[in-house]
Amino acid sequence: MQTADIRQRWLDFFAQRGHTVVPSASLVSDDPTLMFTVAGMVPFVPYLTGVVPAPFPRATSVQKCIRTNDIEEVGRTPRHGTFFQMNGNFSFGDYFKEGAIGYAWELLTSSESDGGYGFDERDLWVTVYKDDDEAIDLWKKIAGLPDERIQRLDKDTNYWSTGQPGPAGPCSEIFFDRGPAYGVDGGPATDDDRYVEIWNLVFMQYLIEDVRSKTDFRIVGELPKKNIDTGMGLERVAFLKQGVDNMYEIDQVRPVLDAAAELSGRRYGADHEDDVRMRVIADHVRSSLMLMSDGVAPSNEGRGYILRRLLRRSIRAMRLLGVDGPTFGTLFGASRDAMKAAYPEVEHDYGQISQLALGEEETFLRTLSAGTSILDLAVGSTKEAGSTALPGDTAFLLHDTYGFPIELTLEMADEAGLSVDRAAFDTLMAEQRSRAKADAKSKKKALADLSVYADLRAKGETVFTGYTDLTTESTVLGLLVGGRPVAVASAGQTAEVVLAETSLYAEAGGQAADQGLIVGDGYELKVLDVQKPVKGLISHTVEVVSGEVAAGDRATTLVDESYRRGATQAHSGTHVIHAALRQVLGPNAHQSGSFNKAGYLRLDFGWNSALSAETRSEIEEISNNAVRDNLEVVTREMPLAEAKELGAMALFGEKYGDTVRVVDIGGPWSRELCAGTHVRTSAEIGMINLIGESSVGSTNRRVESLVGLDAFRRFAAERALVSELTTNLKTPQDQLVDRVNELVQSLKTAEKRIAQYEARALGDRIPSIAEKAARVGQTRLVAEDLGELGSGDDLRMLATGVREKLGTDAAVVALTAVVKSRPVAIVATNPAAREQGLKAGALAKQMAGVLGGGGGGKDDLAQGGGQDVQAIPAALEAVRRAVA
C-alpha cells in the first residue's frame, strides 16, 4: 500500500464520519514557543486548550512535522525521521473515548477492500494509563482484546499535558507486533523495536495545576468540554504495510536512498555504516526539501541553521561514501518526484528550492576541504599533545570561518576518537553574539503565555478597520500587565490592550506595526507595538501616558497619519521593485523576504550573483517609471484558488488562508497576495531610491531602498556632497570622478613610500634588539617589550629578523608590543632551539594566558594576545622561566 494511499484512506475515512478535513499547516509553526510544527496536534492547540473557539466540532488532518531532537538516531533505528507526517483526528467537546477507540479499531482492522488498513487483530497491542479502567473496559468491549494484550503503563509514557497548567489527560497507544524475528516477547512494555507504536489516542479530560514536572502535578477537576487528540505515524504504517524493515525504505524515501547508492557505487545492504549514511541522506534530503517548500532558507540562525545542518550532514555523508562532487541535483530531484503526489507544491516551487539547495552545496563543498584539513591538523596536534579533547577555539574557527555547524565538528572529532571542549566553544560563541548587533526584533518582549488570551479571544475576533479608517471608536476588551490579566492599567505602566476594533495595523507580511495613540475619557496610551498573539486577536503594547484605563472603557484608536503614509509608500514600493526585478532578471528573481516601515524597505530575492551598477540603475529606473505613470492600485478579497487562477503571486514561504487579499499595481504588471496597507496610485509612492544591494546567503540577494520624502532627502544630501566636493577640489562636476581617482592614486603612492620608510626603520631596530640576547642555559633568549607598534605584522617581521641575526645557536625570540591598545606577543625559535624542545606555539600560548587571552601556532613561529597591557612584564617573565 503506497504512502499516498494510506494518507488518502485516512482522510476519506474520517471525512465520511463527519470530520472537517483540514489541510496541513506549514512546518514553520505559528506558536512563538516552537521553531517548527513538531506534532500533528500543534495547529489545533488553540482549539484544544480553549484559547480560540473551535470552528468545527471534529476535524482530521495529515500534518507535516519536523523534529530534530533525535537527529543522532536518524538512520540507526527503523522509525526515527526528521521529517514525518502525522495523521490525526480531533474532537472538540464532541465524541470522547468510546468514539476515538471505535474509529481507531475500525480503520486499522477493516479490510483494504472496505477502505481500511487491513491489519490482523492478533498483531495489535495497546497500552493505557495504569488507572484508566474506563479505557481498558472500552478496548475489551469494542476490540475484544484479551487482558494480556492490554498493558498498563505510568504517567511518563501514557499521560499527556502541555507542561503548563491547563488541560491534560491519559492516553492509549496502539502497537504492531512485528514478530519474534525482530525481538523478545512481552509486549510494548519491553520497549523493544519488535513492537512499533503506530497510533496514540489522547483523552483530554482533566484540568491540572501546580505543574512541577511531566509526571508531578495536581488534578483539580474535569474539563467542561472533553477533547480527543490522536496521531498515527504515516511513515510507520507505511513501512509495515509495504513489508520493508524501516521508514527509509518506503516509497516516499527509498528513491533518494537508491540515488545515493548509485552515485556512490555502494550497494545498500552490504555494509552497516554505509547503510546508515544512505538513510541519513535520504531522510535529510527529504526533510530539507519540505522545509524549503515552506519557505525556510539556509542561514546561521534559527530555522535556517537547522536546515543548513541537515544539508551539510547530507554532504558530509556523501563524502564518507566516497563522493566529493555535487549530488544535490540528483538527490533533490529524486525526492521531489517521490513527494509531489502528496505535496504538489514541491514540484511547483522546485526552481526556487533547487536554487537554494545547489547554492548551499556549492558553498559548503568549497569550504569543506579546507575545514577538514584544519580539523585533521588539529586532531593530530591534540593527540600528539596527549589530550582527548579538541580545543574549543579550533571548533569556533571551523564554525566561524568555514561554516561547520558545531554538531558536524563533534561528529568528526568523535570519528577520530576525540571529544570537543564544548565549554570553551560556547564561551567564544557567546562573546561573538554579544559583539554582534542585536536583531531588530530582539527589542520585542516575549509574548505572554497564550492561555491568558483565551477569555479575550472567546469574545470574538478583533475587527481591523485600518484599510479605510485611521480613527476608530472601540471598546477595551481586556488588559494584561506582565503577561497577567488586570482590571486597570495606570500612568507609567506598560500594558497590552485588546480592543474590539482597531485601525492600528499589526506587524505582518514584512510591514512594521503602526505608530499612534489610543485615547479615552481621562487616559492617553502611546502605542509601542501591535501584534497578533493568537489567530483573530490583535494586541496593542502601550505605555500609559496619563490617567487610568480599564476593561470595558470606550477607546479611540488614532493612527499616526504621517507614519502610515510612509509605511504604505514603502510597502507599495516593495511590490513595484519586485515587479521591476522580475522584469529585468526573469521569474527566478522571486521575493524570499521583506521588511518595510515608513520611508524604508528591504527586499530579499532569489539570485546567486551581485547586481551590476547598470542593472541596479535599470531596476531603479523601471520602478520610478511605474511611479511616474500613476498606476492604479486595486485591492480585492477572493478565494485563494481564484487568486491563483488570476496569476496572483503567492510569496515563497508565506502562509495564506482560504480567503486572500490581492493587490494589483497596474493590473497584472504587479499582482500579489498581500494583507498590508497600500497607496491608492503608484504616484503616491513619490520616489524610489535604491541605496544598497548585498548578499544574504549563497542564493539570496537583498536590495534596500528609500521612498517618498526619505528618498528625496537622500538625493538632496548627495547633491550637497557633490557641491561641496566640486568647490573644495575646484573641479567641475563632470570631471569630479577623474579628479577623485587621481587623488586616490596619489594617496596610494604616498602610502607605499611611507610603508617602505617604516619597514626600513623597523629593520634598523633589529641589531639593537638582538644585542639584548641573554644566555639561559644553552639557549640565547631575547624577551623584550617594544612599546607601541602599528600592526602585528610589524612585530612578526622584527621577531623573525632578530632570530636570523642570532645565528645557528639555539635561540628563542619573544617580543611583545601594544597594537591598537591591546597586547600582542610573537615567539620565534630556530631549529637548534626546537631540538631542545622549545616550541614557539607552546611558549606563545603561555604568554597569551598571562595576558588574558589565547594564542598558539607552529613550532617555529607563533602569536598570542590578550586584554591586559599591564601584564606584559609578567608575560615576558613567564617565557624566561619557561625557557630556563
- 625 within some domain: yes
Q: How far apart are CA 422 and CA 652, in angstroms?
A: 37
Q: How far apart are CA 221 and CA 307, in angstroms?
A: 43
Domain shared by 507 and 572, yes or no: no
Domain shared by 541 and 421, yes or no: no
pLDDT at 299: 82
Q: How far apart are CA 361 and CA 311, in angstroms?
A: 8
Whole-number CA gyration radius for the chain: 33
Q: Is 884 helix (H, G, I), strand (E, B) or coil?
A: coil
Identify the CATH number of the domain in which residue 525 sits. 2.40.30.130
Domain shared by 350 and 275, yes or no: yes
The grid coordinates of residue 251 equal 516509497
Identify the CATH number of the domain in which residue 53 sits. 3.30.930.10
Three state DSSP letters for 708-727? HHHHHHHHHHHHHHHHHHHH
Q: How far apart are CA 228 and CA 102, in angstroms?
A: 13
Between strands 150-153 and 124-129, the pairing is: parallel
- 734 within some domain: no
Identify the CATH number of the domain in which residue 598 sits. 3.30.980.10
C-alpha distance from residue 212 to each of 131, 205, 216, 217, 250 (Å): 21, 19, 5, 6, 41
Residue with cell 601594544: 818
Domain shared by 259 and 141, yes or no: no
- 727 within some domain: no
- Residue 291 corresponds to which amino acid? L
Identify the CATH number of the domain in which residue 776 sits. 3.10.310.40
pLDDT at 439: 34
Residues annotated as binding site?
Answer: 571, 575, 674, 678
Q: What angle do CA 744, 747, 748 make, to 5 degrees?
A: 90
Domain shared by 594 and 687, yes or no: yes
Q: What angle do CA 52, 57, 59 make, to 5 degrees?
A: 90
- 763 within some domain: no
Q: How far apart are CA 654 and CA 593, in angstroms?
A: 9
Domain shared by 553 and 469, yes or no: yes
Domain shared by 256 and 244, yes or no: no
- 428 within some domain: yes
Q: How far apart are CA 870 and CA 848, in angstroms?
A: 13
Tell me the helices (H) and strands (E) count for the chain, helix number first. Answer: 25, 35
Domain shared by 491 and 395, yes or no: no
What is the torsional sign of CA 751, 755, 761, 765?
positive
The grid coordinates of residue 20 equal 472537517
The grid coordinates of residue 217 equal 502535578
Cβ distance 450 to 46 under 8 Å?
A: yes
Domain shared by 549 and 570, yes or no: no
C-alpha closest to that of 558 among 675, 466, 684: 466
User: 657-690: string of b/e by CB count within 10 Å (b at 16+)?
Assistant: eeebbbbbbbeebbbbbbbbbbbebbebbbbbbb
Domain boundary among 438, 467, 491: 438
In 10 A of CB 357, how many CB atoms?
26
What is the torsional sign of CA 25, 27, 28, 29?
positive
Beta bridge partners of 861: 828
Q: Is 339 helix (H, G, I), strand (E, B) or coil?
A: helix
Q: How far apart are CA 454 and CA 495, in angstroms?
A: 17
pLDDT at 351: 87
- 144 within some domain: yes
Domain shared by 650 and 799, yes or no: no
In 10 A of CB 109, how many CB atoms?
16
Residues (pLDDT < 70) of the chain are: 32, 369-370, 401-403, 405, 432-450, 651-656, 698
Domain shared by 700 and 773, yes or no: no
Helix (H) or strand (E) holding 665: strand 659-665
Domain boundary among 221, 248, 275: 248
Size (the chain), residues: 884
The whole domain housing 374 covers: 252-438
User: How far is residue 273 CA from its own chain's centroid?
Assistant: 30
C-alpha closest to that of 296 among 277, 310, 281, 276: 310
- 824 within some domain: yes
φ, ψ for residue 237, nearest 5 deg: -65, -35
C-alpha closest to that of 498 among 512, 485, 482: 485
Q: How far apart are CA 874 and CA 850, in angstroms?
A: 7
Domain shared by 272 and 416, yes or no: yes
* Helices (H), ranges, 254-349: 254-264, 272-293, 302-320, 328-339, 345-348
- 737 within some domain: no
Count structural domains, the chain.
Answer: 5
Domain boundary among 248, 281, 296: 248
DSSP 421-465: -HHHHHHHHHHHHHHSPPPGGGGSPPPPPGGGGHHHHTT-PPEE-
Residues annotated as binding site for Zn(2+)?
Answer: 571, 575, 674, 678
Three state DSSP letters for 773-829? CEEECCEEEEEEEEEECCCHHHHHHHHHHHHHHCCCCCEEEEEEEEECCEEEEEEEE
Q: Is 659 helix (H, G, I), strand (E, B) or coil?
A: strand
Residue with cell 484479551: 146
